[in-house]
């Protein structure tokens, strides 16, 4: 690998201003830009600290986590390390260059996420500024990066560059309102609104609050389905009203916020409601070699019969599972959390497991690595927006309310701890129906939590009333 412009008397990365940084990254496709100011131990050997949990970086297209047992022969094993690949390209005035070995190193016990492998195998990269043997100990260097969304079905990639501490761009970072020492910060350019504030989302929600809206869906290609009356219509309507296409890629829905539409009996008060966190399918156990119908037939219960009294519908629900300490009549599976000690200490080979009550066989399991892959896509900030769904004169409408709940700063360890404590639950709704002699499955493998319990998975929870906002009062 060679460094770019090493023959120049003065390298571009020591003279670049914030406009050049903006131009290089936006021309490469970045829609928003983030920065981390580097300290002396941020280099190719000691890695670059970027966050405490993979969900801190949910705006990046993180890949599938993987783990191998330490190969060290030392008496004391090294720290637990889970690697998460990330498609990364370095940008220079000469073009873009892949960093094929770039990955995030997740150390749950600290917890920390560190960026590693960013120079290895790269044809041209910022080795002058990141190599330990060169300027890799220089304080004040700045790593700028942003995500380029894939126009197809891929996950996109990251484009990035590094500037030296003497550069005007590095000095600009120190004067940003969004700058926070030791953290990844959003870059605000002159004339641009400060991202990350709730006020940006607040203003957008005020524009739709109190209106009876015919549910609709905005696809990523710009096409529209209206009316749209599927069960997930309120959530897709919320995103569509805020200009967000159907969310099939990692990262926040609006600004830095993940949006969650929460059904409520009234928009005048907060009521408890069960929230779906994610819906991963099992990746280990007997079920992986069987059809969904076979699993439900074996472990579910009859929920419907035909005119002759023969079963033509089965459900698999939480009633078919014994949680720790339970022994329900008819439940054929026992639920166990395997390899978990606490939020900072868990075996990466562990899992959430369903064991056959009679044989002890693993019927279905969700490995921690599989769950982490889903969890890292959950953004570190979520806005829970209440809605009413009504039907009048044959027309269905959705109305969004002002009592918004914000969840800030989560982690995978907190998710596992909440599961152990029974606040996050596995709440399946798998159904099969007999049609023309064949079982037709409808899978709903979901992990859920009550709205009143979300403090178990966030370090901070705020309750906002949009009717008290400055923007609302100005409109009045």
pLDDT tens readout for residues 40-82: 999 999 999 999 999 999 889 999 999 976 554 444 556 789 9
pLDDT band for 151, please (50, 70, 90 cuts). low
Q: Write down the pLDDT at residue 200.
A: 77
Cα dihedral 197→202→207→213 (10° resolution): 120
pLDDT the model gives residue 263:
94
User: What mean pLDDT comes out for the span 381-403?
Assistant: 92
Tokens 């524009």 locate to: 207
Between CA 336 and CA 324 the distance in angstroms is 7
Q: Find the mean pLDDT for residues 363-379.
A: 91
pLDDT of amino acid 357: 96
Relative to beta strand 103-107, strand 82-85 is antiparallel
Q: Please provide the DSSP assignment of 341-397 as one string.
A: EETTEEEEEEEEEEEETTT--EEEEEEHHHHHHHHTTS-SEEEEEEEEEEEETTEEE
Q: Is the pLDDT of residue 152 over 50?
A: yes
pLDDT, tens digit, for every residue of 278-327? 899 999 999 999 999 999 999 999 999 999 999 999 999 999 999 999 99
User: Of the candidates 65, 220, 54, which has an alpha carbon nearest to the alpha carbon of residue 150?
Assistant: 220
State how far the alpha carbon of 112 is from the alpha carbons of 51, 66, 172, in Å: 6, 16, 27
Residue 388 tokens, joined = 């009413």
pTM above 0.75, yes or no: yes
Selected residue with higher pLDDT from 471 and 374 = 374
Strand partners, 415: none
Mean pLDDT of 156-177: 95
Residue 295, H or E segment: helix 292-299
Rounded percentage of the chain residues whose pLDDT exceeds 90: 72
Note the pLDDT of residue 68: 73
Question: Average pLDDT of 159-166?
Answer: 97
Are 283 and 366 a contacting pair, CB within 8 Å?
A: yes
**Of the listed ranges 63-72, 105-114, 133-142, 388-397, the one predicted with least confidence:** 63-72
How far apart, in whole angstroms, are the C-alpha atoms of residue 22 and residue 30? 9
Query: Does residue 264 contact residue 386 with C-beta atoms inside 8 Å?
Result: yes
Helical spans, DSSP H, in 95-179: 127-130, 168-174
Using one digit for the tens of pLDDT, what is the confidence trace for 417-467? 999 999 999 999 999 999 999 999 998 999 999 999 999 999 999 999 998
pLDDT of residue 471: 46
* Three-state DSSP state, 11: coil
188-203 confidence digits (pLDDT tens): 876 555 555 567 788 8
Residue 383 has pLDDT above 80, yes or no: yes
Percent of the chain with pLDDT over 70: 89
Three-state DSSP string of 68-86: CCCCCCCCCCCCCCEEEEC
What is the rounded CA–CA span in Å between residue 438 and residue 432? 10
Question: Taking a C-beta distance cutoff of 8 angstroms, is the pair 346, 415 a contact?
Answer: no
pLDDT of residue 7: 42
Whether residue 33 is predicted with pLDDT greater than 60 in this model: the reply is: yes
Neighbouring-strand partners of residue 103:
85, 116
Confidence class for position 470, pLDDT limits 50, 70, 90 = low
The answer, yes or no, to whether residue 387 has pLDDT greater than 90, is yes
How is residue 266 written in tokens? 């009234």
């Amino acid at each position: 690998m060679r460094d770019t412009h090493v023959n120049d008397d003065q390298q571009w990365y020591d003279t670049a201003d914030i406009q050049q940084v903006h131009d290089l990254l936006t021309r490469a496709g970045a829609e928003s830009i983030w920065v981390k100011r580097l300290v002396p131990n941020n280099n190719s050997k000691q890695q670059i600290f970027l966050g405490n949990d993979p969900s801190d970086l949910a705006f990046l297209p993180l890949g599938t986590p993987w783990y191998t047992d330490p190969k060290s022969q030392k008496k004391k094993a090294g720290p637990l390390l889970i690697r998460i690949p990330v498609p990364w390209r370095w940008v220079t005035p000469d073009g873009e260059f892949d960093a094929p070995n770039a990955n995030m190193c997740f150390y749950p016990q600290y917890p920390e996420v560190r960026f590693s492998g960013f120079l290895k195998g790269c044809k041209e990269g910022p080795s002058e500024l990141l190599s330990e043997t060169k300027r890799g100990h220089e304080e004040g260097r700045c790593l700028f990066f942003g995500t380029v969304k894939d126009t197809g079905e891929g996950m996109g990639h990251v484009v990035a560059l590094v500037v030296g501490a003497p550069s005007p761009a590095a000095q600009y970072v120190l004067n940003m309102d969004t700058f926070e020492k030791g953290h990844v910060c959003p870059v605000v350019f002159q004339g641009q609104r400060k991202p990350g504030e709730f006020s940006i989302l607040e203003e957008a929600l005020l524009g739709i609050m109190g209106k009876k809206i015919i549910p609709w869906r905005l696809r990523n290609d710009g096409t529209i389905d209206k009316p749209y009356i599927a069960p997930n219509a309120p959530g897709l309507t919320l995103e569509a009203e805020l200009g967000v296409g159907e969310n099939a890629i990692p990262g926040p829905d609006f600004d830095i916020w993940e949006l969650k539409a929460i059904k409520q009996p009234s928009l005048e008060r907060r009521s408890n409601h069960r929230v779906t966190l994610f819906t991963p399918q099992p990746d280990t156990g007997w079920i992986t070699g069987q059809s969904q119908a076979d699993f439900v037939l074996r472990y579910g219960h009859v929920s419907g019969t035909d005119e002759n009294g023969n079963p033509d519908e089965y459900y698999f629900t939480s009633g078919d599972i014994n949680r720790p300490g339970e022994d329900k009549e008819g439940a054929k599976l026992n639920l166990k959390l395997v390899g978990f000690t606490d939020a900072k200490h868990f075996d990466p080979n562990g899992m959430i497991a369903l064991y056959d009550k009679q044989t002890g066989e693993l019927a279905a399991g969700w490995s921690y690595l599989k769950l982490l892959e889903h969890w890292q896509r959950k953004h570190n900030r979520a806005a829970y927006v209440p809605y009413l769904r009504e039907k009048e004169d044959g027309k269905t409408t959705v109305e969004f309310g002002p009592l918004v709940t914000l969840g800030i700063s989560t982690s995978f360890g907190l998710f596992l701890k909440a599961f152990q404590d029974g606040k996050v639950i596995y709440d399946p709704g798998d159904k099969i129906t007999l049609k023309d002699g064949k079982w037709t499955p409808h899978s709903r493998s979901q992990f859920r939590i009550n709205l009143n319990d979300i403090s178990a998975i966030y370090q901070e929870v705020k309750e906002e009333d949009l009717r008290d906002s400055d923007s609302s009062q100005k409109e009045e």
